[in-house]
Structures are given as structure tokens and as C-alpha cells.
Amino acid sequence: MSEVPAQRRASDRISRWVGFDLAGQAYALPILRVREVLPAPVVEPVPGAPAEILGLINLRGRILTVIDLRQRLGLAPARGERYAVMVIDGGGEWLGLRVDAVCELRSVVAQAVQEAPRVPPPAGFRLCGVVLRDGQWLHLLDLEGLPS
């Protein structure tokens, strides 16, 4: 498969994504779903919650559930204390997604997006496609009915 061409044509459709890392892999969410990024906020655990629910944070008076995106996607548990929480609009309700690091805003040319592998996604996520960029795969995620 070929890499994304360095030059774009004026007619190319471009979408914007917020890139982040999980377990050494590159992912991205649509920029319009990301409200803000918090560097390592204190998360209050919720007794009896499923393992992927890390707990709650208070964001300027708004209580948000924080989900461990590694666990939700079936990746290896995090080792280390460095992380960020992406505050996303999960379909009318804001949620926090714990990620290893938020990298950058990425522009993706629609023609460069390749079909995603046909595997059942974890609840609430859909793999929109993949893009080969600078020798690394970028997994484009979308949220669909993500439960809190």
C-alpha cells in the first residue's frame, strides 16, 4: 500500500482529526467530537464499576465518566503514570477517554483513507478506516452510541 502523497490538490476533501497514542499505535478521533484535552487529571474511582471505567472527574462543575480507552479497545494495560484525558462529546453526553498521549491535529485527505479491516468493533467505536502516514498506520475511530 502506498503512502499519502505529500502534495494535495485543491479538489481534495480534507477532514481534521485529533491524533493520540495508545500502546505504541496511532489513533485519531474526529476533531468535532473532541472538546478539550486534560493532562493527567485526578480520577476518582467508582466502586463496583467495570474495569474499563476508571472513575469520575469534575470538569468545572460537570461530572464526567472516564473510560480507559486501552481496555475498551482490548489493548495491553498502561505501564506508567503519563497519560491524558480527551474530553469528548459522546452523543450529547461528555465523557473522558484516557489515552497515553495526545499528539497533534491531523489533516486527512479522503482519498488516502483505506477501508478498515472487517472486525467487530468494541461497543461505541467504529473504525472508519486507516491511513498509512510516514510509515505508520493511523487508525481513524468514530464514536457511535458510546455508553457512559
The reported pTM is: 0.80
pLDDT digits (tens, 9 = 90+) for 90-138: 778 899 999 999 998 988 888 888 887 776 655 556 778 889 888 888 9
pLDDT digits (tens, 9 = 90+) for 22-75: 988 999 999 999 999 999 899 999 999 998 899 999 999 999 999 998 888 888
SS (H, E, C) the chain: CCCCCCCCCCCCCEEEEEEEEECCEEEEEEHHHEEEEEECCCCECCCCCCCCEEEEEEECCEEEEEEEHHHHCCCCCCCCCCCEEEEEECCCCEEEEEECEEEEEEEEEHHHCECCCCCCCCCCEEEEEEEEECCEEEEEEEECCCCC
CA 28 to chain centre: 5
Neighbour-count burial of 35, counting CB atoms closer than 10 A to its CB (0-12 exposed, 13-18 middle, 19+ buried): middle
